Structure 1
Amino acid sequence: MPLHKIIYLSNNTKLYLWKITENLDTLSKDMRLKDSSIARLESMKSESHKKGFLSVRKLLEHIDYNDFDLYYDEFGKPNLKPQGCSIKDMHISISHSHDFSAIAISEKNIGIDIEILKDKIVTIAPKFMDITTLENLSSEDKIKKATVIWGIKESIFKIKNEPGISFPNHIFEENFKFEDKKTAALLKFNNKNEKFYIEFDSFDGYMFVCAFENN
């Protein structure tokens, strides 16, 4: 399936979603990959992970980039090579969950996370959040709120990508309402307090969360 949806966010940020309906042969057809990407793809045992990997490259092609424009730093964070006469370097973040892959492209440093909405998130919530924030919510709203909070922490971690960051002990979200589709969060780590702006929304039984460095 071609591009599923483009979501326009703050800071000239675009979120591109690909719904994975193709088989591996269709996804890989006519796709040029670096040798390192071929090796990484061949090392993946899960077909779902392979499809996620390839569909991200399909999204890159849709916006006139390709696998050769994407590189990872020593911490595994994705980056884009400057393109043409572009004045500003563009930042990228990548996520994959079940039937969807996503990339976010922005002039600001960003992190993106997409997650399928499943009741399991409530079961594991005590491992990454203060579960008192789920009190007095319906079962559906507990799933949504816990998923957003997980996404906040995951997307901030993707921006900072520093060993030792603990989701429950170092990343703290402000209280939020679903209808606002935005909030803020604080990373308290290494004797520093760093604030992040957050946008989120649901789509097709999934949730996306995007974090922006507040600088």
Structure 2
Amino acid sequence: MAIAYHRQLDEKTAFAVWKIEESAEELVSRLQLKSGELAYIESLNNGKRNLHWLSTRVLLREMLNTNRYINCEVDEHGKPYLVNFPHQISLSHSFDYAAVMISEDKPVGIDIELVKEKIVRIEDKFLCREELLFIDPAHTIEHLYICWCAKEAIYKLQGKRNVSFKDHIRLHAFPYAPEGRFEASLETDQEFKSFDVNYESFHDYMIGYVAGERGYSSNK
């Protein structure tokens, strides 16, 4: 399967979605993996876990449009980064899809989720009272997934552990729509940052993404 969806956000920033239809062997054949990476894949249970890991790397290769080896590592907080390319990246996957976001000049975060009714069981675990009040009762499930994807994308962009979705990431009230943008903030004892969150529905999935902070400018 080729890229199922691609969106160019600006000259240096884009994301894409890959529909996973290949076997693990087919995905491996499209990569240049070293012994440590192959051993890691072997440690994963056969099934979605290794397909997700492999498909994000195949999609990353497609987006970078390179035949070079891609050295993708994770830092002490578990955030992925590229050793031998200048791009900042964010990876996500859910069931049959993988998503990758890259930028040459700003930090990024993306999340893709299959929309399922069970999210209502945990709504008060990731949304504060003020956020719950603006959820549209006619589109509760979809609205909750927008909020989840937004908070997950911000969490991935900032890249540090010990950040609470409910206590530290706050969403400004916004009406439900299948696609849109709204403001959000990350508020901890150490920092305050504002973001424009973008989101859109994709088949039975929801995608949320952020690129830099509000007013962000690169010095490159």
Q: TM-score surpassing 0.5?
A: yes
Aligned match of 2:193: 194
The answer as to whether partners of 1:56 and 1:101 remain within 8 angstroms in 2 is yes
Identity among equivalent positions (%) equals 31
Consecutive aligned runs of 4 or more in structure 1 exceeding 6 Å deviation: none
The answer as to whether partners of 1:11 and 1:108 remain within 8 angstroms in 2 is no
Separation in 1 of the partners of 2:117 and 2:62?
33
TM-score by length of 2: 0.86
Greater alpha carbon shift after TM alignment, 66-75 vs 200-209: 66-75
Aligned match of 1:68: 70
Aligned residue pairs total 207
Specify whether residues 179 and 47 from structure 1 end up closer, same or farther in structure 2 by C-alpha distance, changes over 3 A only.
Answer: closer
Aligned match of 1:133: 134
Q: CA deviation at 1:133?
A: 2.4
Aligned counterparts, 1:1-215, within 5 A: 1-10=1-10, 12-63=12-63, 64-65=65-66, 68-83=70-85, 89-106=86-103, 107-130=105-128, 131-134=132-135, 136-138=136-138, 141-177=139-175, 178=177, 181-214=180-213, 215=216
Q: For residue 176 of structure 1, give the secondary structure of its aligned residue in structure 2.
A: coil
Greater alpha carbon shift after TM alignment, 106-115 vs 43-52: 43-52
The answer as to whether partners of 1:34 and 1:67 remain within 8 angstroms in 2 is no
Q: For residue 157 of structure 2, give the secondary structure of its aligned residue in structure 1.
A: helix
Greater alpha carbon shift after TM alignment, 23-32 vs 99-108: 23-32
Greater alpha carbon shift after TM alignment, 187-196 vs 172-181: 172-181
Q: For residue 175 of structure 1, give the secondary structure of its aligned residue in structure 2.
A: coil
Q: For residue 111 of structure 1, give the secondary structure of its aligned residue in structure 2.
A: strand
| Long gaps (5+) in structure 2 | none
Q: CA deviation at 1:191?
A: 4.0
The answer as to whether partners of 1:52 and 1:101 remain within 8 angstroms in 2 is yes
Separation in 2 of the partners of 1:189 and 1:11?
32
Letter in 1 for 2:196: Y
Q: For residue 181 of structure 1, give the secondary structure of its aligned residue in structure 2.
A: strand
Cα deviation, 1:167-208, whole Å, max 9, x if unaligned, reads: 111110111232661111111112422111211101111011
| Long gaps (5+) in structure 1 | 84-88
